Chain A
């Protein structure tokens, strides 16, 4: 964070003027995240960074680049492609990985895909179980990754608020909320038996606003879907769904209308609701976020399946 470094220098020798620590909250969060990322690189044989292409992932990836600069990041990026992601996400992913020299792994559950599994035909639960959870678990097993970074934040959702930064997974990749390892100071217990693994969440302590603020300050590239634009949309069960490709079922096609929308989260296009918006800059997005009355996950259809559904998914190994 260049512009702030000069302020730090002038604040030294250590006369905090604002009554607090010498780092701003973002500088402190950044330092914490870099420490976590380096710790994983040092302690594990075969780590991987899970990349969702979303804004949080974009920040996490940048933090990894920072952690090892001027060297290269010593682990690959992996994207679990459910085959129903927005086209713009895939394009962004490939361009970013190329530009920044990342080793990018893309994995999908091709068996289920070839069998025709999708959210419209099989519903969100079956689709998510097979194309996201199973695809992820298979990929982790295939490469025998012993640590996997995820971009989840504790402020996103109630069950995540209780999860450790180093989150232990048994050989079935399951999380046990009642049996978490105590996690103190910045000393992370990275010891596992063969077949077990750790999910690591370097953004645990970041909030949604922190993420936007950081993207703004650092000029981190994000998928253009976050910005408002006129897009072909159709209303399905109260959600504004963008018709991203021709797999939209016949009955909805006549209902497609151009709408000025943007996305607060990114996932599978049939499961990700758009919000009507005119925000075309980060400042406008933040303004909208602060005046809006919905928190970000409400635009994600999968959360509505059942009460405590995210906790359930985490227990099963998803995230």
Chain B
């Protein structure tokens, strides 16, 4: 019989769970899909008919003999099922009594670095899989480097297939020691290591009695409890204006998602680039007004004074400003089949701001296998390195290491509209030495345009700016 009270209690508890986004990376044979399949399966979120479909598929193309091939649960697309490998980022969802999880499952082989970068950009935590028989290999270095580049704060090293090395403590310790050298070198602080057999379930959900020498928790327990609240930046208030809401003449609200920091009603704020100051009059949501907003809330802010602020501009606090400028140095990952063309003007999208941009200097390329720096030359697909970028419009940014939200951008090819590259900003650069000014100027008096047309031209120029085409107008 039904017990409505119990389900109500369950839902009330469920409502209070928080969300952990995690990335998994490993090579084709490390048992990554098996591990994820087990996390999903053993946390009892696999429905029977998904299992039935799996049984059908296993008989045709499975690689696991008679037992269920957990990997097939995850490999959704037709094309890749035929290849027997995961070709793109796939998202999986499961929950336990304590937390909800989103897994970004990404492939391990070289040509798909861009997928791991894609899957990892929002992750709180990364699971790096290692085959215990092989130890730290080139791919491990590559994955770990990408995780550090993305600024993922927590790493889990899953030493898998421990059953194939007789659950040897020596093997595990040696791998962990070698891996910690790598993470120390990359400056990654939070690394936790687990001896696992995903296929047989050791230390995945339950602690295994075959690793009596291991005194840490099972993987799932760790995932449920690892603290992630401190990972967000609550210090530096950054509010990229996304949409201006004017339902009537009395209300002018600036919609946006709090990128970082905390804002309260009454706080003094400053609009960029105008530098005009005001105070927060209200923080409005569908439910009504609230006194405070923090990341990643989507809210609407009204100000006490009437200041003209458009999409792409930013509201900050006067005593804590981001870098304001058009020239910076950045790490860049090339994501496009078409190689980098340094003569091209790209569209750069940074928060809600879109502008023209050029890559004005190539500093180096990083060999993701050895982590060595090589001479800068135009990047091919999956290449990573440091470049300098010049934008047409002024950007309001922080170093990615300090602020993941305001330090990230994408480059869009102006012809194909593909996302050609993604960047993590390192530092601002001096603008005084720049000769290359990307912004064309319309000198209206010089062009002999009558004054009555100025307003119309201003409107058109503003619309172009919204689309990322900046033009200066001289009246």
Q: Is the Cβ of A35 less than 8 Å from the Cβ of B246?
A: no
B286 close to A69 (CB less than 8 A): yes
14 CB < 8 A contacts A-B? A12-B292, A16-B227, A20-B228, A21-B229, A24-B18, A35-B296, A155-B92, A162-B77, A177-B77, A183-B419, A184-B117, A185-B121, A187-B350, A210-B100
Which chain B residues lie closer than 8 Å to A32 at the CB level? 296, 298
Residues of A within 8 A of B90 (CB): 161-162
Q: Which residue of B lies closest to A184 (CB)?
A: B121
- Cβ of A106 within 8 Å of any chain B Cβ, yes or no, is no
B417 CB within 8 Å of chain A: yes
Q: What is the total number of residues of chain A having a CB less than 8 Å from a CB of chain B?
A: 82
Q: Is the CB of A158 within 8 A of B77?
A: yes
Residues of B within 8 A of A (CB): 2, 4, 7-8, 10-11, 14-20, 47-50, 76-79, 87-93, 95, 99-100, 102, 114-115, 117-118, 121-122, 225-230, 232, 234, 242-243, 245-247, 251, 253, 255, 257, 262, 284-288, 290-292, 294, 296-298, 300, 311, 335, 347, 349-352, 404-405, 408-410, 412, 417-419, 422
Asked if residues A38 and B246 are in contact (CB atoms below 8 Å), the reply is no
With known contacts A5-B290, A19-B229, A35-B298, A68–B410 Cβ distance under 8 A = no
Q: Is A189 on the interface with B (CB-CB < 8 A)?
A: yes
B6 CB to nearest chain A CB (Å): 8
Compute how far the CA of A4 lies from the CA of B18 in the bound complex, rounded to whole angstroms. 13
User: In whole Å, how far is B22's beta carbon from the nearest beta carbon of chain A?
Assistant: 13
Q: With A24-B16, A25-B100 as known contacts, state yes or no: A180 contacts B88, CB within 8 Å.
A: yes
Tell me the complex Cα distance, A193–B418, Å: 11
Residue on B nearest A12 in the bound complex, by CB: B292
Task: Report A-chain residues with C-beta under 8 Å of the C-beta of B118.
Answer: 182-184
**Contact between A293 and B121, CB atoms less than 8 A apart:** no
Interface assignment of A272: CB less than 8 Å from any CB of chain B: no
A284 with B7: CB separation less than 8 A = yes
Q: Mark A161-192, 1 if CB is under 8 A from B, else 0.
A: 11000000000000001101111111101011
Contact B49 A293 (CB under 8 A): yes
Residue of A nearest to B118 (CB): A182
Chain A residue at smallest Cβ distance from B5: A283
Q: Does A115 contact B (CB under 8 A)?
A: no
Of the residues A16, A189, A217, contact of B417 by C-beta under 8 Å: A189
Give 1 or 0 for each of A143-159: 1 = CB within 8 Å of chain B CB: 00000000000110011
State whether A19 and B2 are in contact (beta carbons under 8 Å apart), knowing that A14-B234, A182-B419 are contacts in the complex.
no
A28 touches B296 (CB 8 A): yes
Asked, given contacts A177-B79, A177-B88, A189-B417, whether A14 binds B229 with beta carbons under 8 Å apart, the answer is yes
Please tell me which stretch of A50-58, A117-125, A130-138, A201-209 contacts chain B, meaning at least 4 of its Cβ atoms lie within 8 angstroms of it.
Answer: A201-209
Q: CB distance A29 to B18 under 8 Å?
A: no
Q: Which chain B residue shows the least CB distance to A14?
A: B234
- Docked Cα-Cα span, A27 to B100, in Å, equals 12
Verify if A34 is at the interface (C-beta below 8 Å from B). Answer: yes
Which positions 1-24 of chain A face chain B at CB distance < 8 Å?
1-2, 4-5, 8-9, 12-14, 16, 18-24
A26 CB-CB contact with B under 8 Å = yes
Please, which residues of chain A bring their CB within 8 A of the CB of B121? 184-185
Alpha-carbon distance A213/B28, docked complex (angstroms): 37
The answer to whether A298 and B49 touch (CB under 8 A), given A70-B251, A178-B87, A183-B118, is yes
Q: Please tell me if A97 contacts chain B, counting CB pairs below 8 Å.
A: no
Cβ of B11 and Cβ of A204 under 8 Å apart?
no
Q: Is A281 an interface residue (CB 8 A)?
A: yes
**In the complex, the 7 A-B pairs of residues with the closest C-beta atoms, listed nearest first:** A158-B76, A16-B229, A20-B18, A71-B247, A293-B48, A25-B19, A184-B121
- Whether A35 and B242, one on each chain, are in contact in the complex, defined by CB atoms closer than 8 angstroms, is yes
Q: With A24-B15, A178-B87 in contact, is A189–B99 under 8 Å at CB? A: no
Q: Which residues of A contact B262 (CB under 8 A)?
A: 12-14
Given the interface pairs A161-B91, A209-B95, A311-B78, the reply to whether A69 lies near B284 with Cβ below 8 Å is yes
CA–CA, A150 and B53, complex, Å: 26
User: Given A32-B296, A183-B118, A284-B4, are A70 and B284 neighbors across the interface (CB < 8 Å)?
Assistant: yes
Q: Chain A residues near B412: list those with CB within 8 A.
A: 189, 191
With A5-B290, A294-B48 in contact, do A213 and B91 touch (Cβ < 8 Å)? no
Q: In the bound complex, what is the Cα–Cα distance between A28 and B243 (angstroms)? A: 20
Q: Out of B47, B78, B92, name the residue touching A308 (CB < 8 Å).
A: B78
* Contact indicator A193/B417 (Cβ below 8 Å): yes
